[in-house]
Amino acid sequence: MASQAQVLKGAVPISQLPRFGEMLAEADGDIDLVLAFSRGKQGRTQIRGSAQAAVGLICQKCLQPFRQILNCVINFEVVGSDVGYDQLEDAADAIVCDDKEISLTVLLEDELIMSVPMIPRHTVTQCPSNEYRRVDLELPVDEVKTTHRPFAGLAAAMKKKDNQES
């Protein structure tokens, strides 16, 4: 695929990615996928593209389901096990592969799992739990609060006591 600079476009059902599906509240829908294969400057296979999916998650703030769009950027370079990572081009991640074939399903599933938020939650305006948020109260401007200083007269009292003892 890389030698022919092929591009794959299509939809992958979430149901075909069991590890990713277990993380979701609803494992329905499709993942829109675009992958471009090419050869890099050093002759290594490069896989670049993107994946997008609207998934159902559980908000960890209110525990209600909600939908979120996950966008995943894919940028890999396939290397053999004897190649150092410092020789990679650009900002590509390495896929160490001794075989001639790579499972794109596993690759896609791993990237989607990493794109799921660690703590999924609604936006601030959409979360039902925000109805109960404490409103910060401001004191009226005309209400001036005086500062109480309990030791303000202490220095004068001690000086007076010293004068009486002398």
User: Is the residue at 142 inside a domain?
Assistant: no
For 107, 123, 127, 158, the CA distances from 44, given in Å and listed in that order, are 17, 41, 46, 85
| Averaged pLDDT, 126-147 | 64
How many domains does the chain divide into? 1
Predicted pLDDT at 153: 82
Predicted pLDDT at 71: 93
Count H helices, E strands: the chain? 3, 5
Q: % helix / strand / coil in the chain, to the nearest 5?
A: 25, 30, 45
Predicted pLDDT at 85: 60
pLDDT digits (tens, 9 = 90+) for 117-133: 999 988 877 787 766 65
User: Is the residue at 109 inside a domain?
Assistant: yes
Q: What is the mean pLDDT of the chain?
A: 81
pLDDT tops 60 at residue 148: yes
* SS3 category, 93: strand
Task: State the Cα–Cα distance between residues 35 and 46, nearest whole angstrom.
Answer: 10
Contact between 96 and 80 under an 8 Å Cβ cutoff? The reply is: yes
User: Is the residue at 19 inside a domain?
Assistant: yes
Domain residue limits at 28: 7-130
pLDDT digits (tens, 9 = 90+) for 36-60: 998 877 778 889 999 999 999 999 8
DSSP 134: P
User: Is the residue at 151 inside a domain?
Assistant: no
Element (H, E) at 21: helix 18-22
DSSP states of 24-66 as a string? SSB--SEEEEEEEEEE-TTS-EEEEEEEEEEEEEE-TTT--EE
Name which of 80, 82, 78, 120 is nearest 102 in CA terms.
78
pTM over 0.85: no
User: Is the residue at 48 inside a domain?
Assistant: yes
Predicted pLDDT at 162: 82
